[in-house]
């Protein structure tokens, strides 16, 4: 299953009220949205027909989230579904995730792209130095997975075996959590290393990755959709129980 097919299915299963994506490029992933949407990219060149009420933002994601009311296009400043496919470097992906989580709730689903590179070369920080085309460059955003497991064990981080370069689905985000924010500088110091990158064997082999079809068959998505109607103080414990019942939390390690 390709990454956009996974995203298409999540749109259909979750029926999000809104959608935010970082990294628009030609607009292919935005074509999947049928709800109020925000697309952020400093150099988008949309060539696809879009069928949603969309606010296209020609800026970096850092600049966008620094605005006083970045989600003014939505009815309320809470994201239901987000797709992060911006700059393919760990420190950028971490900041994008932290910014998206600030506007999340327990029922928000966050999808990160390019999380399972197929080789050390594909995971290079310097795409041109590695001689890689854009479509073959994953960068070192895979390092976000370890950052979450160490500093945010409360979230459920699911590696998904999608083509070409894997995705990660994050469940139970918490805007009040500070694990990543407090340790961001330390993480950058540890993770920003010169090429060649040494990708862990479990990432390259995708030994922890879920089959995307089985993931989509899970009943969790409908439960998260229904829990959106509750205040998050009431929804959060129920969402965690729903994730526990789904069995997905048990496969994240």
Distance CA 108, CA 235 (A): 11
Which alpha helices (DSSP H) does the chain contain, by range?
Answer: 3-14, 61-65, 90-102, 143-151, 179-182, 184-191, 201-205, 212-217, 220-227, 232-246
CA dihedral 196, 97, 166, 1 (to 10 degrees): -160
Domains of the chain, earliest start first:
3-251 (3.40.50.150)
Q: Residue 253: its pLDDT value, please?
A: 46
SS3 36: strand
CA–CA dist 12, 159 (Å, integer): 20
Q: Which residues contact 94 (CB under 8 A, 6 or more apart)?
A: 144, 147, 180, 184, 187, 188
DSSP secondary structure letter of residue 198: -
pLDDT tens track for 126-185? 988 767 766 789 999 999 999 999 999 999 999 999 999 999 999 999 999 999 999 999
- Can you give the pLDDT at residue 127? 87
Q: Which residues face 109 on adjacent strands?
A: 81
What backbone torsions phi and psi does residue 44 show, to the nearest 5 degrees?
A: -65, 150
Residue 128: the pLDDT is 83
- 162: phi then psi, degrees, rounded to nearest 5: -100, 160
Q: Sign of dihedral through CA atoms 5, 39, 108, 34? A: negative
Sheet containing 54-57: give its strands across.
Answer: 54-57, 36-40, 18-22, 81-84, 109-113, 167-171, 156-160
Q: What is the pTM of this model?
A: 0.96
Per-residue pLDDT of the chain (253 residues), as tens digits, is 999 999 999 999 999 999 999 999 999 999 999 999 999 999 999 998 999 999 999 999 999 999 999 999 999 999 999 999 999 999 999 999 999 999 999 999 999 999 999 999 999 999 887 677 667 899 999 999 999 999 999 999 999 999 999 999 999 999 999 999 999 999 999 999 999 999 999 999 999 999 999 999 999 999 999 999 999 999 999 999 999 999 998 765 4
């Amino acid at each position: 299953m390709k990454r956009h097919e996974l995203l298409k299915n999540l749109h259909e299963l979750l029926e999000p009220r809104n959608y935010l994506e970082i990294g628009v490029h030609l607009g292919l992933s935005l074509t999947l949205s049928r709800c109020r949407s925000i697309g952020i990219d400093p150099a988008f060149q949309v060539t696809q027909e879009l069928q949603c009420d969309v606010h296209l933002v020609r800026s970096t994601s850092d600049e966008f989230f620094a605005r006083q009311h970045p989600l003014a296009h939505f009815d309320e400043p809470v994201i239901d579904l987000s797709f992060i496919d911006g700059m393919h470097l760990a420190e950028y992906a971490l900041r994008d995730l932290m910014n998206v989580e600030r506007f999340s709730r327990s029922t928000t689903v966050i999808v990160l792209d390019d999380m399972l590179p197929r080789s050390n070369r594909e995971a290079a920080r310097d795409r041109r130095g590695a001689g890689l085309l854009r479509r073959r460059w994953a960068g070192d955003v895979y390092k976000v997975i370890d950052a979450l497991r160490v500093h945010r064990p409360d979230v459920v981080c699911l590696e998904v075996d999608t083509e070409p370069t894997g995705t990660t689905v994050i469940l139970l985000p918490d805007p009040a959590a500070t694990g990543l924010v407090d340790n961001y500088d330390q993480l950058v110091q540890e993770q920003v290393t010169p090429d060649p990158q040494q990708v862990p064997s479990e990432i390259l082999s995708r030994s922890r990755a879920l089959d995307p079809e089985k993931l989509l068959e899970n009943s969790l998505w409908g439960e998260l959709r229904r829990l959106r109607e509750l205040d998050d103080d009431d929804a959060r414990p129920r969402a965690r129980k729903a994730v526990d019942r789904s069995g997905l939390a048990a496969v994240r390690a």
